[in-house]
Amino acid sequence: MSAILESSELPAVFDGVKLAAVAAVLYVIVRCLNLKSPTAPPELIYQDSALARFLLKSCPLLTKEYIPPLIWGKSGHIQTALYGKMGRVRSPHPYGLRKYLTMPDGATATFDLFEPRSEHCTGEDVTMVICPGIANHSEKQYIRTFVDYAQKNGYRCAVLNHLGALPNIELTSPRMFTYGCTWEFGAMVNYIKKTYPQTQLVVVGFSLGGNIVCKYLGESQANQERVLCCVSVCQGYSALRAQETFMQWDHCRRFYNFLMADNMKKIILSHR
């Protein structure tokens, strides 16, 4: 009789374990995808000026609530993994010409030049000089997507290829790109100014590129000539202050630090 009672209770126990397991999985999914995180308009920090008011009026999207894609859009980790490994659906492939510049120390700087595919809305000649993120270049998908959109809106684009980042371009001097060297970016800007004397410049930097373009503009007043504005996207403002943060496990920071270091190691070893 006791054996019969025990066998009848076992299915209920197993059902309880399955239910607990399903609940645990759902909890992990909700936490990892940040599904409970509320949406809100971005926090804007700016100085009240005519330029700031013009930008807010011209870009109403800046003051609207950001509604991310359903399910995975609230997780920066998932977005990074999907975009980094899979990329965009039907990512554009803009056609450009690769330019080579010999630096004073013998290094060979390269950048890709993309002509506009339509007239600019102002009728003026405007060139975006773009500095990608760490170890990146013009062939990265986010750069291609940005360039394609800019071309369609009447902008010429010049995209710097960080020294040593392109796998098919050999180094011609014993150095590669660094976190603060503006030589290659400056050489690209000077080429654009000389080749297109009528053009106005919009300076754009992504991540590490944001540090480089801001440093370049601050090095000399002459570097700001013919510059309409500078756009710094996701710039890291202090690598020294960020060192402690990089070594923390919160939000997988230490894991991302390992991935970036491993990528840098691969680039260095590829030029042995």
Residue 84 reports pLDDT greater than 70: no
Same domain membership, residue 209 and residue 184: yes
pLDDT band at 76 (very low <50, low <70, confident <90, very high): confident
Tens of pLDDT along 143-196? 999 999 999 999 999 999 999 999 889 999 999 998 889 999 999 999 999 999
Through-space distance between the first and last CA atoms of the chain, rounded to whole angstroms? 77
Same domain membership, residue 52 and residue 137: no
Tens of pLDDT along 108-124? 999 999 999 999 999 99
- Collapsing DSSP to helix, strand or coil, 107 comes out as coil
Are the beta carbons of 185 and 198 closer than 8 angstroms? no
Same domain membership, residue 155 and residue 55: no
Same domain membership, residue 150 and residue 106: yes
Same domain membership, residue 192 and residue 80: no
Chain-centroid distance of CA 260 in Å reads 13
Tens of pLDDT along 241-259? 888 888 888 878 888 889 8
Domain boundary among 65, 86, 107: 86
Domain that holds residue 255: 239-272
Same domain membership, residue 136 and residue 14: no
Query: Among residues of the chain, what percentage have pLDDT more than 70?
Result: 92
Give the predicted TM-score (pTM) of the model.
0.83
Q: Which of these, 87, 90, 199, lies nearest to 141 by C-alpha position?
A: 87
Same domain membership, residue 152 and residue 220: yes
Average pLDDT over residues 123-143: 94
Q: What is the CATH number of the domain that holds 142?
A: 3.40.50.1820
Same domain membership, residue 22 and residue 37: no
Q: How many domains does the chain have?
A: 4
Average pLDDT over residues 2-27: 67
Q: How far apart are CA 185 and CA 129, in angstroms?
A: 9
Q: How far apart are CA 95 and CA 174, in angstroms?
A: 31
Same domain membership, residue 151 and residue 214: yes
Same domain membership, residue 244 and residue 229: no
Same domain membership, residue 259 and residue 201: no
Are the beta carbons of 203 and 231 closer than 8 angstroms? yes
Same domain membership, residue 27 and residue 38: no
- DSSP string spanning 169-200? S--SSS----SS--HHHHHHHHHHHHH-TT-E
- Give the mean pLDDT of the chain: 87
